[in-house]
Chain A
Amino acid sequence: MTLYERLGGEAAVDAAVDIFYRKVLLDDRINSYFEGVDMDAQAGKQKAFLTMVFGGPNNYDGKAMREGHKHMTGLTDIHVDAVIENLGATLKELGVADADIAEVAGIANSVRDDVLNR
């Protein structure tokens, strides 16, 4: 079974989007980056991101990831860490095993340099 199948596929992504996005909006370390962003559009992006880090079908585009974060001034490792932490807490809440959470965090970590444009 692949990671994506173990997590529960698209239904799991749908369940995770709301929880994850809510955690991000409540996290003072990063929520200022989401001020004034259209929530429906942002939820669409979160869904694509979660599908990718869950090991699901994706056309991950490092260039789009760089473009999408370029305008965010002051973005550092602390902010990426916060996102990965919220991701882990989301999965914990959904009852995902620790080993799978670590695997998801690993995939999320692999896009760090694209997000931080380095």
Chain B
Amino acid sequence: MAIVNYQDCAIEIGADQSLLDALLDAGKDIPHGCRAGACQSCLVQVTEGEAPENAQSGLKETQKQQGYILACQCHPQQDIRIETDASTNSYRALVNSKHLESRDVLRLRLDGDFDYRPGQFVNLIRDDGLSRSYSLASVPELDPELEFHIRLHPDGQFSGWAGNELQTGEELEIQGPFGDCFYSVSDKVKPLLLAGIGTGLAPLYGIVRDALQQGHMGPIHLVTGARTSANLYLLKELKSLSSRYPQFSYTPVVLEAPEAVNEPIEGLTVGDLNQVIKDQFSDLSGYAVYLCGSEQRVNSLRRQAFLCGASMKEIFYDLFVPAVSTESA
């Protein structure tokens, strides 16, 4: 049985246990989120012993070389020593405002100042260590604040708290930024397609405005999918972007046609997002494609975009992985 040395403790790691579970069982306060190796909340550094390669998937080359691993993906066979307080940048940020954008999307703005690229994500951490990953919808050159879109889940531990209890003026810890789904196109006339489901709009909203402020001139198509028109949000902001920038267009796609239409929504399309992309973007060769949302939907959009001719290397994506509850046993 392998032993992990952490602080002053030597902790045994059970046969079926991850390093994260062993640390938590021993009462250690380790930030964690998705437990699927995606959110990178549980990043720790191996300072003695071998850093298992399979626990480094998705990390940057520079992190790997420094012995960083994801504790939730790590099942050590040999004794190791780890540190946690090391290099992940972390910040305290003040809650400036909270605004409900649709029936289930909370727009949260924080006062914070650090380097990031729009579309990257960070971990927002409550004082007791509860941590969730959220994408940055803001653009540092345009927005003085950090902006996040929090989907309010009926049973969401974090989102429920953020919606009901978190007050403006309170502080949150921020860890990050992470991820490589951001605008990095050197060819300013390249056509872009951005497709998102639900709050997948958050990173895409950042990426679109980043591309525009960097002088992107090629067509930029944003398509978002939602169940009904009541689940759409940022309509006003996107409309104002498209009237200001002729190269930008926005198509909201809903599964269910709206019944009573008070204010018609410009460009509203009823149908399945994959099908709409297949029909309207049948030739994606030469495009850069950005896809954000739940894992299952994004994977199916990746396949669709690829079959429509997008090159694998030109498909950037960010998968939203649901957090696994630690309460239920």
Contact = CB atoms under 8 A, between A and B. Distances in A.
In this complex, the member of B306, B311, B312 whose beta carbon has the largest number of chain A beta carbons within 10 angstroms is B312
A26 to B, nearest CB: 7
Contacts of B306: 18, 21-22, 25, 39
B151 interface: no
A43 B315 CA distance: 13
Interface in B295-329: 299, 302-303, 306-307, 309, 311-312
Contacts of A26: 307
Contacts, number: 20
Nearest to A35: B303
Contacts of B302: 39
A38 to B, nearest CB: 8
A72 to B, nearest CB: 19
Interface string A3-18: 0000000000000011
Interface residues of A, number: 9
Contact of A25 (B299, B307, B309, B311): B307
Given A17-B312, A18-B312, A39 B303 contact: yes
A40 interface: yes
Interface residues of B, number: 8
Which secondary structure dominates where chain A touches chain B?
helix
B38 to A, nearest CB: 13
Contacts of B309: 22
A80 B302 CA distance: 26
Contacts of B303: 25, 39
Contacts of B307: 22, 25-26
A25 B312 CA distance: 13
Nearest to B312: A43
Contacts of A43: 312
A22 B312 CA distance: 10
Interface string A83-111: 00000000000000000000000000000
A21 B311 CA distance: 11
A82 to B, nearest CB: 17
A43 B310 CA distance: 14
A22 B307 CA distance: 6
A86 to B, nearest CB: 14
A25 B303 CA distance: 9
Nearest to B296: A36
A42 B290 CA distance: 20
A18 B118 CA distance: 28
A43 B307 CA distance: 14
A104 B313 CA distance: 25
A71 to B, nearest CB: 20
A9 B127 CA distance: 55
A4 to B, nearest CB: 22
A48 to B, nearest CB: 15
B296 to A, nearest CB: 10
Interface of B: 299, 302-303, 306-307, 309, 311-312
Interface of A: 17-18, 21-22, 25-26, 39-40, 43
6 contacts: A18-B312, A25-B307, A26-B307, A39-B299, A39-B302, A39-B303
Given A17-B312, A18-B312, A22-B309, 8 more contacts: A18-B306, A21-B312, A26-B307, A39-B299, A39-B303, A39-B306, A39-B312, A43-B312
- State the 4 A-B residue pairs at the shortest beta-carbon distance, nearest first: A43-B312, A18-B311, A39-B302, A18-B312
